Amino acid sequence: MVIFLTDDLNQTDVGCYGNTDVRTPNMDSLAAEGMRFNKAYAAAPICTPSRSAMFTGLYPFRNGSQMNHFTVKPNTANLPQLLKKLGYRVVIAGKTDVFPLHNFPFERIGEEFGRYAPIENRLDRKKETVQMIESHFKEHPEQPICLIVAPWVPHVPWFPNKDFIPGKLKLPNYLADTKATRQALSAYYQSIGEADKMLGEVMQALDKAGQKNSTMLMFISDQGAQFPSAKWTTYDQGLRVPMIVRWPGKVIPGTVSDALVSLVDLTPTLVDLAGGKKPEGLDGESFKNVLLNRKKDHHSYIFAETSMEPHFWYNYTPSRTVITDDGFHYIKNYHPGVRFVTHIDKVEQNEFYFDTWVAAAENDPKARFLLNRYSYHPPDELYNLNTDRDEFNNLALDPAYNNKTVMLKKLLDKELARQGETNEMILEGTLPVFFDQSYTIRQSRSASDLSFNKKRWNPDVLYITAYLNDMNKGGVVCDYFSNFRLYACHGKIGLRLADGTEVESEAIPVKEGQLLMKLSSQGELEVRFNQEVILVKALKKDLTKIKAGYVTCGKIQGEELEGKLQSYDGQITDLRFTMNELSKEP
């Protein structure tokens, strides 16, 4: 089994799906030899949540990875674990983007082209994937393999345009027509072509190894392209992805399927193809019978979500959505009064075009409509994909569609209840609550380092305060970006540093109280409990700065540890991180 996983590619931007400008001969050839899915959707329009859903068979809330770069929950079963039990060699080449990576026991190759930069590395210049295919079938001919080839293309930054004349491209309806947009689209199409060439190399390697007829080859993308109202959003352009499957002797060549499938179905499908039983408790369902032409339909509806990315300059604007097999798409937006902001507005890596949309919107009604459609989302949206694939006509306020809107609202509520996520959870989110010189983290929550402007949150003195209950049980109070883990366990309070060094107080005779920890950038540590100094230590290093990783309350992100660093067994109230001084002002 080989899965070729492109990065940020719209379904509409592949030749066999109707795009006459792009150059995708290998993708098109694959479709002629296999089955092309018209209704394949990501579970989230963001890289890490989408891939985590793919490789666990669980929707983002259930696997734990809802924001970009966040980990799955501890001990979450996943594709490499399941296939290895069936005797498979499970290899990933290139980009991984699931965390914690050691929880996903892939054999890794191509780590060079799995890095974000430089873009020249993204095409597996060392041909590690091709060489691995050749060597596997020579050295391990009897062992089945699942190979996931995951290049960074066509993710931004895009390759420089060489093959396209921007002014002659047919501009998709959802893009404002500016010169900069056309230049960006040309570079995006150039990157799609590079992805297609790499797919061709994989197809040729299978042919050369004599394994074409014994290999199921699947081509997919993780979500839509990084254009407004595509990636990051739950619009159709953000979620609908290409999916093509070639399986000689099993899949009828040149077939097209309108079965509604989700990328959350990937893990149960591959386990099914490998001869395993469906793991219990998954959200996804195997579509093997669709591939074998035993069934025409699959899901009656699929679910997807966006919880955005944890960058400090983001506004938290989550949405949840259901798409039905009869072609209706309902979206619920949870903070409709907040402007929607993403990479596209702020930090696009190359071919920056967004400012030209803002300028064009002053005089061009369509540009204004497209800009506002991206930036401001109403509470409810309903679209008929059968007649409005662009999703320009919101039917949620149309009295003629009131019954349909109400029905899909109830369907979404039912699905959220099944997963265990409440509206209150969605509205609250996982980000810190920020104040002028401090922020708080709720118990069992965490925040990524990306949530912080590190120039702004750069303490010379760090204060950590909280009220702790049940210290006779206890556990980890917080993990501070892996600099140290502060714990309160069995009546003692201490820190464990990244190098394993541990400092700890004497036993405290009470089970609850007020914690105050002060740590300077010179490494001077003082811990008070109920206003009494219980620990003083010169750590001789700066542990106050925010590093890559997470700040947590009552847990270790993505891990389930024991003893002092177990998830806190008790209550932590008002865990607050304060910079430089505790305010004495009213």
104-123: pLDDT as tens digits: 999 999 999 999 988 888 99
Mean pLDDT of the chain: 96
Residues in the chain: 586
Q: Which of 136-145, 243-252, 425-434, 510-519 has the lowest mean pLDDT?
A: 425-434
* Percent above pLDDT 90 for the chain: 93
Q: Are 395 and 405 in contact (CB under 8 A)?
A: yes
pLDDT at 314: 73
Q: What is the pLDDT of residues 368-390, one digit of tens each?
A: 999 999 999 999 999 999 999 99
Please report the beta strands in 369-483, taking only residues with DSSP state E, as ranges in sequence order: 380-384, 433-434, 438-440, 446-448, 461-468, 474-480
Paired residues of 515 in beta bridges: 466, 529
- Average pLDDT (160-180) is 97
- What is the number of alpha carbons within 13 Å of residue 50 lying toward its C-beta? 30
pLDDT at 120: 85
Looking at this protein, which amino acid is placed at residue 83?
A: L
| Residues contacting 579, CB < 8 A, separation 6+ | 437, 438, 457, 458, 459, 461, 462, 463
Q: Which of 343-352, 361-370, 470-479 has the lowest mean pLDDT?
A: 343-352
Question: pLDDT grade, residue 315 (50/70/90)?
Answer: confident
Say whether pLDDT at 585 is over 70: no
Question: pLDDT grade, residue 483 (50/70/90)?
Answer: very high
The first and second tokens of residue 521, run together, are: 């950038």
Nearest Cα to Cα of residue 100 among 73, 79, 66, 77: 73
The first and second tokens of residue 159, run together, are: 């390759």
Question: pLDDT grade, residue 171 (50/70/90)?
Answer: very high
The Cα 44–Cα 66 span in angstroms is: 8
pLDDT at 463: 98
The Cα 513–Cα 12 span in angstroms is: 59
The Cα 528–Cα 514 span in angstroms is: 8
pLDDT at 310: 80
Say whether pLDDT at 486 is over 60: yes
- Average pLDDT (56-67) is 97
The Cα 205–Cα 208 span in angstroms is: 5
The first and second tokens of residue 284, run together, are: 């996804």
Query: What's the sign of the alpha-carbon dihedral 58, 60, 62, 64?
Result: positive
Q: What is the pLDDT of residues 403-446, one digit of tens each?
A: 999 999 999 999 999 999 999 999 998 889 999 899 999 999 99
pLDDT at 439: 96
> What single DSSP character describes residue 102?
G
pTM of the model: 0.96
Q: What is the pLDDT of residues 197-241, one digit of tens each?
A: 999 999 999 999 999 999 999 999 999 999 999 999 999 999 999
The Cα 335–Cα 524 span in angstroms is: 42
Place of tokens 């992100």: 557
3-state secondary structure of 446: strand
Per DSSP, helices labelled H in 59-121 are 60-63, 79-85
| Residues contacting 501, CB < 8 A, separation 6+ | none
- Average pLDDT (444-450) is 94
Nearest Cα to Cα of residue 561 among 502, 490, 474: 474
pLDDT at 586: 55
DSSP per-residue string spanning 453-513: -TTTS--SEEEEEEEE--TTTEEEEEEETTTEEEEEETTEEEEEETTS-EEEPPP-S-S-E
pLDDT at 430: 84
| Residues contacting 132, CB < 8 A, separation 6+ | 91, 93, 109, 147
Write the CA distances from 149 to 96, 190, 347, 488, 550, integer angstroms. 10, 19, 27, 44, 29
Say whether pLDDT at 336 is over 60: yes
Say whether pLDDT at 576 is over 80: yes
